[in-house]
Amino acid sequence: MDRRRFVALIGSALAAPLARAQQARRVYRIGWPVVSPRHVLEHLIASLEQGLRDLGYMPGKDILIEVRSAEGKMERFAEVVQEIVQSKPDVILTGVNATTTLVKAATQSIPIVMTIGTDVIGAGYAKSLAKPGGNITGITWDVGGGTVIKRLELLKEMAPKISRIAVLWESPYREQYKPTMDTAARVLGVSTSWHEYSGDPERDFAEMTRLRAEAVDVYPSVAIFSRRVEIIALATKHRLPTGFSVSEFVASGGLMSYGPNLAGAYRAAARHIDKILKGAKPGDLPIEQPTVIDLTINLKTAKALGLTIPLAVLIRADRVIE
């Protein structure tokens, strides 16, 4: 046998096991049922993918993120959840409590990683933050009432003439934050009126303006988040300064936000997913609380409203949109 043929045979013999190993490499699946249309969530999908890349995964190759949407219709979400559960993914990703509750009811065996949990012990998702038990872990959105107070203070600093603030909410946020916010408002000399989201933003803004609201603070549920562009357009039409807990509203034209970073929550969720895929039980993984609170300001919106943002506030901003 000549030398060239011998080398070729040896190379083939060594390459075959390697090729088989590559073919046999496990491909993991993340099921992600969502209420909102997918295009609303593209930046959050990108954040999750980046978090997975940081941990050595290759989204689309060794890990698949299967997003299934109810296209904005909450009444279809249970059906979407069943589709995800029946496909038997390695992990299911959820967002706010309304989605986590339905997924929890559909499976007690598939690991669930939530990203925007609130009152997770009271909601029955965990026995404790340190050791949740069951099949749910992830990120809680609860950082205490301090952020609610601070957001109201910042909104008042930016729009010092306001004396009546309308609060647009959807469960569970009123029950959780109303006492704290109402107390803070009284200290600032501001009155509050709470308006439950009706599903019709025009009707809600008509009611808020009828009651002479001078600003609006918004607690973004799934439904409200999905229609943030329309909500902000109505606030602009009525010349109402707006405060939010997530910066996505400010990027769409709202005045300001103060709260945890939403995209950061999805990057953080990748760590929980990684540990579960490596064999950890979700019930043994501590539920994380956000450690970074962002202040985002839209100067273009401030100018349109005739507001001058104090320099002391601008200096504290993590992001300024011009």
Is the same domain home to 180 and 201? yes
Domain containing 200: what range? Answer: 146-260+293-321
Backbone angles phi, psi at 247, to 5 degrees: -75, -15
Across the strands, what pairs with 68?
33
Please list, in sequence order, all residues whose beta carbon lies within 8 angstroms of the beta carbon of residue 267, skipping any fewer than 6 positions away: 47, 48, 50, 51, 54
109 and 178 co-located in one domain: no
Residues 134, 107, single domain; the answer is yes
72 and 109 co-located in one domain: yes
Claim to verify: residue 177 and residue 227 sit in the same structural domain: yes
The CATH number that applies at residue 170 is 3.40.50.2300
The pLDDT of residue 20 is 46
* Same domain? 303 vs 210: yes
Residue 295, pLDDT score: 96
Q: Are residues 177 and 55 in the same domain?
A: no
pLDDT in tens, the chain (322 residues): 555 554 455 555 555 555 444 445 689 999 999 998 898 899 999 999 999 999 999 999 999 999 999 998 888 999 999 999 999 999 999 998 989 999 999 999 999 999 999 889 989 999 999 999 999 999 998 877 788 899 999 999 999 999 999 999 986 666 777 888 899 999 999 999 999 999 999 999 999 999 999 999 998 888 888 889 999 999 999 999 999 999 999 999 999 999 999 999 999 999 999 999 999 999 999 999 988 899 999 999 999 999 999 999 999 999 999 9
- Is residue 298 domain-resident? yes
| Domain assignment present for 173 | yes
In the chain, at which residue ranges do the beta strands (DSSP E only) sit? 28-34, 63-69, 91-94, 112-117, 136-140, 164-169, 191-196, 215-218, 242-244, 256-260, 293-298, 319-321
Does residue 153 lie in a domain region?
Answer: yes
Q: Which residues pair with 59 in a beta bridge?
A: 63
- The Cβ of residue 252 has, within 10 Å, a number of other Cβ atoms equal to 17
**Interacting residues of 85 by C-beta distance below 8 A, sequence separation 6+:** 31, 92, 103, 106, 107, 110
Distances in Å between the Cα of 137 and the Cα atoms of 45, 164, 280 are: 19, 39, 11
Residue 96 CA to residue 116 CA, distance in Å, equals: 5
Number of compact structural domains in the chain: 2
Residue 12 lies in a domain: no
| Domain membership flag for residue 268 | yes
Model pLDDT, residue 145: 77
Residue length of the chain:
322
Same domain, 62 and 43: yes
With respect to residue 9, please indicate whether it lies within any of the assigned structural domains: no
DSSP state of 180: H
In a domain, 126, yes or no: yes
Q: 166 with 314, same domain?
A: yes
Same domain, residue pair 113 and 248: no
Please indicate, yes or no, if residue 67 is contained in any of the structural domains.
yes
What pLDDT is attached to residue 177?
79
207 and 66 in a common domain: no
Task: Return the pLDDT at 7.
Answer: 47
256 & 266 share domain: no
Residue 118 confidence (pLDDT): 86
In contact, 113 and 269? CB cutoff 8 Å: yes
